[in-house]
A and B are shown apart, each in its own frame.
Chain A
Amino acid sequence: MKIDKKIAVFLYYHMLRIRMIEEKIAQLYAEQQMRCPVHLCIGQEAIAVGVCANLLKKDYLLSNHRSHGHYLAKGGNLKQMLAEIYGKSTGCSKGKGGSMHLVDLTVGILGTTPIVGGIIPVATGVAFGTQMKEKDNLTAVFFGDAATEEGVFFESLNFASLKKLPVLFICENNFFSVYSPLAVRQPKERDNLALVRSLGIKGSKGDGNNVFEVYALAKKAVADIRKGKGPYFLEFDTYRWREHCGPNFDNDLGYRTEEDFLKWKKKCPLDSLEDKLIKGNILSLSRIESFKRNIQAEINRAISFAKNSPYPETEEMLSDVYAK
């Protein structure tokens, strides 16, 4: 796949950044100061970065429980994200939301929520709202394979198709819903593309560990949506490396095999990209080192910001229940 060198480096940098941030969270989680569930996206970074590279700042993004990568790729504020996970008043949701409720209105991130499928109709509604207001913002919504089993998925797609809404549905298929594999949740014959097409929505499927492929498919989808052709559905296969919720590895549980895990680890979206870029003389090792130093410094600043931030005052517990 041909891709502009500058874009290739951009994609690499942001995938590396997400990877390093997530690894740092995994490491710091053991200190027991992040006292909330965290769902890490290590292994799945290419989808967030490849899709979001096609979005504009004014475009909207909504997502699910595994949203750190989406948030960062869309330009969400790292300091505020970490402070939120630490439950601090400087967090993006003032310590009321935690890892599963990220928001950054300055870059169009309207919220992330963990009720499976719950965000899909909301995102559809955002697109509906922009259409009614005759605005040209596109809305992107990320969700997992499990969310495509919920009724609201079908209801939302139906409406999006009916109204030709400017919404991009992105399904990250990592084959598991917690520990339940696809085989106990969906018939073998099921084909999401055929399904969405039968609703009048265009769709494509790609390798979620190949960021160029993600980028190219998203580019086409976004261009179509911007031309007013209505909603688009993208599905990418990928794999979550760590446990469903938390910082550890959980292959020992036996719900997936070590072989499968290793097979996917070999397909690491970041390593394979790095390989390509080095072989193509697009990136040098020293440049990569300087990226890493940069990112590490940024992470250190954000962590100390989060750790040194105050906890919210007790009265804050009762504020924000109703809008003024």
Chain B
Amino acid sequence: MNRQINLAQAVLEATAQCMQDDGSVYIMGLGVTDPKGVFGTTLGLEKKFGAKRVLDMPVAENGMTGIAIGSALVGMRPILTHQRIDFMLLSLDQIINNAAKWHYMFGGKMKIPIVIRLLVGRGWGQGPQHSQSLQALFAHIPGLKVVMPATPYDAKGLLVSAVEDNNPVIFIEHRWLHNTLGNVPLEKYRIPLGKAKVVKEGKDLTIISSSYTTLEAIKVAELFKNEGINIEVVDLRTIKPLDELTIIKSVKKTRRLIVIDSAWRSFSVASEILAQVAEKAYQSLKCAPVRITFPDAPTPTGWALSNHYYPQIEDIINTVKKMLKINKPQRSEKVLDKPLDVPDATFKGPF
């Protein structure tokens, strides 16, 4: 079926279907019942499922996370939302010390099936405390799963799997993806956690990406296709567990690797992937692999600076050219004709 909805609607639909099928699923977070409904991802849920299962909460992230964890211990399946990933940093203690460890430290006797939905902000002066991409931080912690969808289709299927998973799952949504459209079946379906997806087949070079960077990778692959160069794009979809098999298979095929990671360079997911490739496929590589990341600095607020902070399509294009030793000018740079601190021309702030 060709039904197009945006990623925010896909998240909403997955949530509603999970709540419909399982009375122990509930959703809690600042603003889930307000008129904007967490950027549209929770709109109408309260009306459908009642205030008991769809609730706003005190601004007390650490406490509320612990409370969600406790409820999970006695059979509930909470979804906790945060409008920015930065706000849930207050609850790292509960997430890392309790949620991630409970199953293990009590010998597998209990489980914490909790989903924590986090939004990454970007552009329009989100600045150092409203735009952090912390996937590596969570992926580092044993016991947590980390999911980063790129398309509406994946968002729905991955969220359903996350809610049904018996572990704490960190579900990271990029603000700039919420309004992107895609085909999404109406029925409930699942996408397994821990499986990457080859979204474009190619033989000349592999780009590994996730979340918003997958859109950039696809754009670049399409531009090069016109030049007869076939780039393979692997969308990670799940950061932890990382789908090493798909990564290594692709690198062995194309023998060139770029990883685009929307996060700081050092100690990043990109770094981990390069390490995996170095351990398992270094002989296949024709040239050194490249990480395209943010520089190791907090996000500046002013747009004059943040424009240069985020890698642009042009940077990816130039990296590909360098690796493939192409000097031909690409017709591609047209894509840059847009303001750089907004997802699209309709965006007028203030957040």
A98-B127, A253-B36, A314-B308 as given contacts; A150 in contact with B351, CB under 8 Å: no
Asked whether, in the complex, the Cβ of B130 is within 8 Å of the Cβ of A35, the reply is: no
What residues make up the interface of A, taking CB atoms closer than 8 Å to B? 29, 32, 35-38, 86-88, 91, 93, 95-101, 113-118, 146-147, 149-152, 177-180, 184-186, 245-247, 253-255, 311-312, 314, 316-318, 321
Asked whether, in the complex, the Cβ of B124 is within 8 Å of the Cβ of A253, the reply is: no
Across the interface, B62 reaches (CB within 8 A) one of A151, A180, A254, namely A151
Asked whether, in the complex, the Cβ of A37 is within 8 Å of the Cβ of B34, the reply is: no
Asked whether, in the complex, the Cβ of B31 is within 8 Å of the Cβ of A97, the reply is: no
Which of chain B's residues have a CB closer than 8 A to the CB of A32? 348-349
Which residue on chain A has the smallest CB distance to residue B93?
Answer: A151
Within 8 A of A (CB), among B28-60: 30-31, 33-36, 55-60
Which of chain A's residues have a CB closer than 8 A to the CB of B31? 178-180
A29-B350, A37-B351 as given contacts; A321 in contact with B298, CB under 8 Å: yes
A249 to B337, CA, bound (A): 32
Interface residues of B, CB < 8 Å — how many?
A: 44
Asked whether, in the complex, the Cβ of A95 is within 8 Å of the Cβ of B59, the reply is: no
Across the interface, A36 reaches (CB within 8 A) one of B35, B89, B124, namely B124
**Chain B interface, DSSP helix/strand/loop, else mixed:** loop
The interface centre, meaning the residue of A99, A100, A147 with most chain B CB atoms within 10 A of its CB, is A100
Which 3 pairs from chain A and chain B are nearest by CB?
A36-B125, A87-B302, A98-B301
Asked whether, in the complex, the Cβ of B124 is within 8 Å of the Cβ of A37, the reply is: yes
Asked whether, in the complex, the Cβ of A87 is within 8 Å of the Cβ of B34, the reply is: no
A312 to B302, CA, bound (A): 9
Least Cβ–Cβ distance between B203 and chain A, in angstroms: 36
Asked whether, in the complex, the Cβ of B350 is within 8 Å of the Cβ of A97, the reply is: no
What residues make up the interface of B, taking CB atoms closer than 8 Å to A? 30-31, 33-36, 55-63, 86-87, 89-90, 124-130, 295-298, 300-306, 308-309, 341, 348-351
Asked whether, in the complex, the Cβ of B59 is within 8 Å of the Cβ of A87, the reply is: no
Which of chain B's residues have a CB closer than 8 A to the CB of A117? 59, 90
Which of chain B's residues have a CB closer than 8 A to the CB of A321? 296-298
Least Cβ–Cβ distance between A303 and chain B, in angstroms: 17
Across the interface, B59 reaches (CB within 8 A) one of A116, A179, A254, namely A116
A56 to B351, CA, bound (A): 36
A99 to B125, CA, bound (A): 9
Across the interface, A150 reaches (CB within 8 A) one of B60, B296, B300, namely B60
Give the number of residue pairs across the A-B interface with Cβ within 8 Å: 148
A215 to B56, CA, bound (A): 35
Least Cβ–Cβ distance between A158 and chain B, in angstroms: 15
- Listed by A's residue number, 12 A-B pairs whose Cβ atoms lie within 8 Å are A32-B348, A35-B302, A36-B302, A95-B301, A101-B128, A115-B87, A149-B58, A178-B30, A180-B33, A184-B33, A246-B350, A246-B351
Which residue on chain B has the smallest CB distance to residue A151?
Answer: B62
The interface centre, meaning the residue of B34, B124, B129, B298 with most chain A CB atoms within 10 A of its CB, is B34
Across the interface, B305 reaches (CB within 8 A) one of A146, A151, A314, namely A314
Query: A35-B341, A86-B302, A186-B58 are known contacts; what are 7 more A-B pairs with Cβ within 8 Å?
Result: A29-B349, A87-B302, A146-B59, A180-B31, A180-B34, A184-B33, A253-B35
Which of chain A's residues have a CB closer than 8 A to the CB of B301? 36, 87, 93, 95-98, 100-101
Across the interface, A149 reaches (CB within 8 A) one of B60, B89, B308, namely B60
Asked whether, in the complex, the Cβ of A115 is within 8 Å of the Cβ of B90, the reply is: yes
Asked whether, in the complex, the Cβ of A317 is within 8 Å of the Cβ of B128, the reply is: no
Across the interface, A318 reaches (CB within 8 A) one of B36, B130, B295, namely B295
A32 to B303, CA, bound (A): 11
A179 to B89, CA, bound (A): 22
A118 to B126, CA, bound (A): 17
Asked whether, in the complex, the Cβ of A87 is within 8 Å of the Cβ of B125, the reply is: yes
Asked whether, in the complex, the Cβ of A35 is within 8 Å of the Cβ of B305, the reply is: no
